[in-house]
Amino acid sequence: MWGTDMSDEHEAIPYGRVPGTDRVERDVDVEILIGRLHMQHLVIGHDHGFGRGRSGDVETLRDVGRELGFGVTVVEASQTDTLLYDVVIGRNVFTRLVDKLTAAQTIKGLLRPGGRLALAEIVPRHTQRLHRLVDLSGLDEILAGRVVAAEEAIYANPDDPMVNWEAVDLQRMLAEAGFENLDIKTETSTSERRIGLEQIQRWFTGETTAPHSTPSAGQARITLAQHLARQGVTPAELTNLKCIFEQQLREQVVSWHSTIAYVVAC
């Protein structure tokens, strides 16, 4: 999340967490920061982490700044307590949060009167389905149906805070937090993604008895294999499915579809 102080001719943007740096995600961030807000200077928080897994540092940002034409300054912890912002922007701020309303209220409290919020939030409920990346026509019709049902059940879980919301729910929650003049739009984004063996193995890892619980914040998520087991897929069938996924997807570049909600409010 970023906060922007536009009281001077430059833009200073302290933040605690920054989105991934793969090409597609960064392009979205650049569109918000530079294309829409015309950012010229980025002010990072003392505990920042840049990129996927917070692997980047100040020098990473400075390299990006030199490429895109903006400066970078670090704000120490003692300087952040009394800051209020004209604009707060963020990417995937709410995606994994259980208490989204409290987070929205906190963000509202960071804004000066009349301040704006700009968000780009991936809506996980509408993310790419794995069964659409492989050809299951060679499977028994019942087994193929179980594969589809297992994956769709992941995104229909009303108790999972990562997937139990739509863009309209985000809009309603922001309104409840006190934001007004809400403008929310969704669009489908398509990127190229290479599927590695390790990723496929993660999909098919886990106890095939599948505990009937929903992972809470900070806990490991239930794997595709566990969801398949819930649909009655046997261990032998799981092994066969894993082979199909490996044969068709291992080290392949696929088109990966995501839905992004763009929000502007004040």
Read out DSSP for 22-42?
SHHHHHHHHIIIIIIT---EE
What's the average model confidence in pLDDT over 219-229? 84
Least confident range from 59-68, 83-92, 133-142, 166-175: namely 59-68
Whole-number pLDDT of residue 108: 94
Residues 6+ apart with CB under 8 A from 51: 18, 20, 21, 60
Amino acid at 95: T
Least confident range from 9-18, 56-65, 84-93, 161-170: namely 9-18
CA separation for the pair 204, 233 (Å, rounded): 12
| Residue where the block lists tokens 């990966």 | 256
* Distances from the Cα of 171 to the Cα of 25, 101, 178, 254, angstroms: 22, 11, 11, 32
What's the average model confidence in pLDDT over 1-12? 41
What's the average model confidence in pLDDT over 30-49? 67
pTM: 0.68
Whole-number pLDDT of residue 212: 38
Whole-number pLDDT of residue 218: 45
Express as a percent the part of the chain with pLDDT over 70.
72
Whether the pLDDT of residue 15 is over 70: the answer is: no
Residue 257 pairs with which residues in a beta bridge?
190
Task: Compute the mean pLDDT over every residue in the chain, rounded to the nearest whole number.
Answer: 80
How many C-beta atoms lie closer than 10 Å to residue 219's C-beta? Answer: 9
CA separation for the pair 147, 120 (Å, rounded): 31
Q: 110, 112, 128, 159: which is closest to 24 by C-alpha?
A: 128
- Identify the band that residue 82 occupies on the pLDDT scale cut at 50, 70 and 90: low
Q: Which two tokens stand for residue 132?
A: 């659409």
Comparing 157 with 35, the larger pLDDT belongs to 157
Residue 213, classed as helix, strand or coil, is coil
What's the average model confidence in pLDDT over 22-46? 61
What structural domains and CATH numbers belong to the chain? 2-125+161-190+258-265 (3.40.50.150), 128-156+193-254 (no CATH)
Q: Which two tokens stand for residue 125?
A: 């409920």
Residue 198, classed as helix, strand or coil, is helix
How many C-beta atoms lie closer than 10 Å to residue 112's C-beta? Answer: 15
Whole-number pLDDT of residue 96: 82
Whether the pLDDT of residue 239 is over 80: the answer is: yes
Amino acid at 195: I
Beta strands in 123-250 (DSSP E): 183-195
Residues in the chain: 266
Whether the pLDDT of residue 27 is over 60: the answer is: no
